[in-house]
């Protein structure tokens, strides 16, 4: 069984030799989904969509996106407002906006 740490290591190397591989970005999205990093998973699918100029992988991309959207919805319905705020503050892009010293 491969741990999430090993999968994360593989994700970092995706931008090097696999650029342009639609399947690689779909795999990256699936790994990020398993790690519950849904926003980055959607970004990887966006990149896969942009690379899929001949629409050969459109069905797989759509199915993966639906799976991630369902996971996001499930997560949001089961958490309290305080948990939502804590999750948002863990996101570096959101945390910067709430920091009074950087805005």
pLDDT of residue 91: 75
Q: Which domains does the chain have, with CATH numbers?
A: 4-78 (1.25.40.10)
Nearest to 50 by CA among 8, 42, 34: 42
Weakest mean pLDDT among 14-18, 40-44, 64-68? 14-18
pLDDT of residue 96: 60
The Cα 33–Cα 41 span in angstroms is 6
The Cα 52–Cα 35 span in angstroms is 24
């Amino acid at each position: 069984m491969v741990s999430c740490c090993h999968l994360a290591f593989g994700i970092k190397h995706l931008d090097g030799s696999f650029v342009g591989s639609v399947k690689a970005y779909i795999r990256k999205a699936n790994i990020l989904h398993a790690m519950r990093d849904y926003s980055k998973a959607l970004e990887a699918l966006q990149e896969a969509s942009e690379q899929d100029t001949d629409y050969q992988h459109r069905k797989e991309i759509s199915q993966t996106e639906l799976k991630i959207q369902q996971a996001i919805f499930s997560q949001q319905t089961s958490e309290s407002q305080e948990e939502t705020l804590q999750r948002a503050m863990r996101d570096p892009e959101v945390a910067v906006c709430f920091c009074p010293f950087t805005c």
